[in-house]
């Protein structure tokens, strides 16, 4: 296929080629993979770089990047290998001296650094936000190799989905800490103040009033940000909530288990750790099942399954994509409906070819980079996640460029008077920080 870049795409291509450090904050659907590959082709042809390492989520590394290389005429000749799979398969891909580009999943970055010779003068990190944890092995591994990298590109659509604190580690990898500080402690001191505390223990930080503006100014010289709604004729996005309600007997079970969990709180204090545990249990009950202490599944209700049945029936055979969160959600859905989980390349192909009437997907394993817009235009959230990044990325599997339908419908099945409503509000307000989590628990109890 011939690649005819839009104006914004050509601007982004030039930006990558003209800057040794670049961060592209591109909204979902703007074609960041094609943009980057075009820039890589130009630089490889000119001898600006000799070998490139692309780091991406597993399925994106395995499926999306190779598919994009094959898709476009002008980059089809790029010699690439995909270093996923067994140790033997990864080593064969990395040691293939003919490969100009080596694509690896982010989970194997630490292994690569520890076990292989480093011969990459350029690195592309797809979904840079997955390096936001400065304590992670992948972050530390990249920091060790950063001095040997001549050029680096960070790609993401959601750089700070959980707050400005996420940005420090990402830009530390890009620029050695030049813009946001070499140490996380300095960054916190400059731009934040303690928020939720228990004595001297700080559980969360709150940005100072000037922080957002100043941080964005600091990184502006190496960063470009583009929104899909500004550059593409995007389909209309329709979101709605389908509310279900427990019976008095089911509500009694919910309240009983909720009260038991609240009584377990030490001294009545709500910390980020126990707030996460509480909301996890409450989310399970909202969805209709809960794990007991022995990991057995205890049924609370079928209200969401009943609502899902109505949705499937009213779709009249049109494809549906269902997002689930807990394993028992999948088991409950699968026991009642004929569904197929999207996990493999074959699943993706069959979905896009219209061969799967009802598909299920887990946001954590398939939220990034997968092109599913050809298979349908309706997504149903059976169970919600606190992660704004996973929520937005999963929605963007359907609401993106290339979606042939005039509208994309995102439906949320919400259990009335449960933690569901608090999570959906936090997602709408783009506030999924620890403070929002704690406040949600306080509201419930």
Q: From first to last of its 445 residues, what are the pLDDT tens digits of the chain?
A: 899 888 889 999 999 999 999 999 887 667 889 999 999 999 999 999 999 999 998 878 888 899 899 989 999 989 999 999 999 999 999 999 999 999 999 999 999 999 999 999 999 999 898 899 999 999 999 999 999 999 999 998 766 656 788 899 999 999 999 999 999 999 999 999 887 777 778 777 888 999 888 998 999 999 988 776 676 677 878 888 888 999 998 888 888 777 776 545 444 444 445 667 778 888 999 999 988 777 888 888 999 999 999 888 777 678 999 999 999 999 999 999 999 999 888 898 899 898 999 999 999 876 556 788 888 888 999 999 888 888 888 988 888 777 777 788 899 999 999 989 988 988 887 654 544 544 544 444 4
| Residue 381 and residue 275 in contact, taking contact as beta carbons nearer than 8 Å | no
Q: How many residues does the chain have?
A: 445
Q: Which of 398, 273, 234 is nearest to 323 (CA)?
A: 398
| Residue 118 and residue 84 in contact, taking contact as beta carbons nearer than 8 Å | no
Calculate ∠ Cα 373-232-322, nearest 5°. 25
Alpha carbon distance 403, 291 (integer Å):
38
Which residues touch 85 (CB under 8 Å, ≥6 apart)? none
Sign of CA pseudo-dihedral 91, 92, 94, 96: positive
Question: 31 is written with which tokens?
Answer: 């074609």
Task: State residue 204's pLDDT score.
Answer: 78
Task: State residue 78's pLDDT score.
Answer: 95
Alpha carbon distance 261, 241 (integer Å):
28
CB neighbours (10 Å) of residue 272?
A: 17
Alpha carbon distance 300, 282 (integer Å):
11
| Residue 81 and residue 102 in contact, taking contact as beta carbons nearer than 8 Å | yes
| Residue 3 and residue 34 in contact, taking contact as beta carbons nearer than 8 Å | yes
Summarised one tens digit per residue, pLDDT across range 210-253 is 988 899 899 999 998 877 667 667 787 888 888 899 999 888 88
Element (H, E) at 192: strand 192-194
Q: Which of 51, 58, 101, 61 is nearest to 77 (CA)?
A: 101
Alpha carbon distance 164, 143 (integer Å):
20
Alpha carbon distance 270, 250 (integer Å):
26
Residue 210, classed as helix, strand or coil, is coil
| Residue 63 and residue 370 in contact, taking contact as beta carbons nearer than 8 Å | yes
Task: State residue 362's pLDDT score.
Answer: 93
| Residue 341 and residue 360 in contact, taking contact as beta carbons nearer than 8 Å | yes
Domains of the chain plus CATH, in order, are 7-229 (3.40.50.10810), 236-444 (3.40.50.300)
For helices 167-175 and 184-191, give the axis angle rounded to 10 degrees. 130
Question: 341 is written with which tokens?
Answer: 């989980």
């Amino acid at each position: 296929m011939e690649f005819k870049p839009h104006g914004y795409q050509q601007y982004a291509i030039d930006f990558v080629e003209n800057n040794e450090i670049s961060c592209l904050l591109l909204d979902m659907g703007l074609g960041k993979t094609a943009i980057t590959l075009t820039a890589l082709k130009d630089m490889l042809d000119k001898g600006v770089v000799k070998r490139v390492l692309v780091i991406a989520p597993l399925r994106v590394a395995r499926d999306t990047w190779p598919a994009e290389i094959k898709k476009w005429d002008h980059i089809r000749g790029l010699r690439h290998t995909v270093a996923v799979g067994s140790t033997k398969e990864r080593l064969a891909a990395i040691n293939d001296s003919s490969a100009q580009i080596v694509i690896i999943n982010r989970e194997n970055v630490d292994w690569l650094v520890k076990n292989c010779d480093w011969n990459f003068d350029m690195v592309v990190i797809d979904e840079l936000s997955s390096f936001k944890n400065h304590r992670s092995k992948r972050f530390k591994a990249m920091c060790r190799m950063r001095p040997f990298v001549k050029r680096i590109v960070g790609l993401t659509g959601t750089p700070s989905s959980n707050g400005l604190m996420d940005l420090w580690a990402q830009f530390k990898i890009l620029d050695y800490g030049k813009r946001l500080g070499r140490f996380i402690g300095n960054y916190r001191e400059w731009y934040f103040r303690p928020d939720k505390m228990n004595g001297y223990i700080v559980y969360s930080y709150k940005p100072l009033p000037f922080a957002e503006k100043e941080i964005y100014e600091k990184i502006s010289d190496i960063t470009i940000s583009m929104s899909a709604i500004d550059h593409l004729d995007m389909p209309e996005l329709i979101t709605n909530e389908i509310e279900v309600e427990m019976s008095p007997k089911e509500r009694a079970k919910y309240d009983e288990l909720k009260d038991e969990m609240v009584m377990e709180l030490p001294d009545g204090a709500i910390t980020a750790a126990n707030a996460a545990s509480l909301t996890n249990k409450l989310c399970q009950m909202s969805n209709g099942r809960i794990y007991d202490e022995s990991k057995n599944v205890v049924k609370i209700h079928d209200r969401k399954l009943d609502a899902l049945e109505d949705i499937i029936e009213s779709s009249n055979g049109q494809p549906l994509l269902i997002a689930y969160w807990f394993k028992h959600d999948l088991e409950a859905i699968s026991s009642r409906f004929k569904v197929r989980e999207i996990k493999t390349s074959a699943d993706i192909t069959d979905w896009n070819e219209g061969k799967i009437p009802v598909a299920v997907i887990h946001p954590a394993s398939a939220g990034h980079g997968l092109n599913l817009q050809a298979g349908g235009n309706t997504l149903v959230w059976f169970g919600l996640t606190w992660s704004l990044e996973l929520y937005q990325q999963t929605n963007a599997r359907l609401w993106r460029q290339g979606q042939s339908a005039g509208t994309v419908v995102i439906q949320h099945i919400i259990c009335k008077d449960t933690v569901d409503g608090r999570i959906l509000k936090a997602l709408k307000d783009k506030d999924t920080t620890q403070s929002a989590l704690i406040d949600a628990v306080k509201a419930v109890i």
